[in-house]
Structure 1
Amino acid sequence: MENKEKIEQLLDYIMKKCLWQFHSRAWDRERQNQEILTRTMQLLCDEPVEKETPADKCYWVDAVCLADAYKSRYTWLTDMSKDEIKEVMQGLKERLDFLTITGSLNEELKDQRY
């Protein structure tokens, strides 16, 4: 299976199951995508995850749920190296950022008064 197909499977789960993708401002979405997907990647790669601040803990909880769901639904993850997982997760972040931020037609995302 190609990385593009793997990315689309992971993205499909987020789009259907994760409410955090619907923040009302572009900068919130960008930060949320970065923080949650970075921590999810760290969990999938058995790397340490930062949990120092309340915000870190909030992102970590979402990442734990996402990593657990990915592990149980997408068994192909277990056959991947850490570098391959990181590559897929980076592609996932880029795709999610495009769909929810840069490619979005929602003009409210860019409204400075909102």
Structure 2
Amino acid sequence: MSTASAAAVVKQKVEAPVHPMDARIDELTDYIMKNCLWQFHSRSWDRERQNAEILKKTKELLCGEPVDLSTSHDRCYWVDAVCLADDYREHYPWINSMSKEEIGSLMQGLKDRMDYLTITGSLNEELSDKHY
């Protein structure tokens, strides 16, 4: 294989997102990475949807907002979100004193970080295998 074709095979490096609440996002990310099996779906589109829906519902719960439970998928994501929100309130009490806007920003930063770690920055080639 030539150097040019070998370089084409190498996955383009994606930079990790930067957020003003990085230290807190690190704590929440660490919790997910150690305690939540939902992060390990085998396809990137599953991971994208899972990250988006669970973290959106977690944010809604933390902010006391209504949560959409109209579909079976919504209810499935909600169960994980309830566990995550409860654990975050217990293990990271600083989250309880944050405003809704701060929680929204924090959770968006967390979603961006999880997307990076589990999808865009992942070296797992199975995530993009069209035959998998």
Q: Which residue of 1 aligns with 2:47?
A: 29
Q: 2: CA distance between counterparts of 1:14 and 1:93?
A: 11
User: What 5-or-longer segments of structure 2 have no aligned partner?
Assistant: 1-19
Larger Rg: 2
Identity across matched positions, percent: 65
Offset, 1:3: 1.1
Normalising by structure 2, we get a TM-score of 0.84
Q: 1: CA distance between counterparts of 2:77 and 2:130?
A: 25
User: What 5-or-longer segments of structure 1 have no aligned partner?
Assistant: none
The equivalent position to 1:20 in structure 2, one of 14, 26, 38, is 38
Q: How many residues matched?
A: 113
Runs of 4+ aligned residues of structure 1 deviating over 3 Å after TM superposition are none
Question: Is 1:48 matched with 2:61?
Answer: no
The alignment partner of 2:66 has SS state of: coil
The alignment partner of 1:50 has SS state of: coil
RMSD between aligned residues: 0.7
Q: What letter corresponds to residue 71 of structure 1 in structure 2?
A: R
Which one has the bigger helix percentage? 1
Normalising by structure 1, we get a TM-score of 0.98
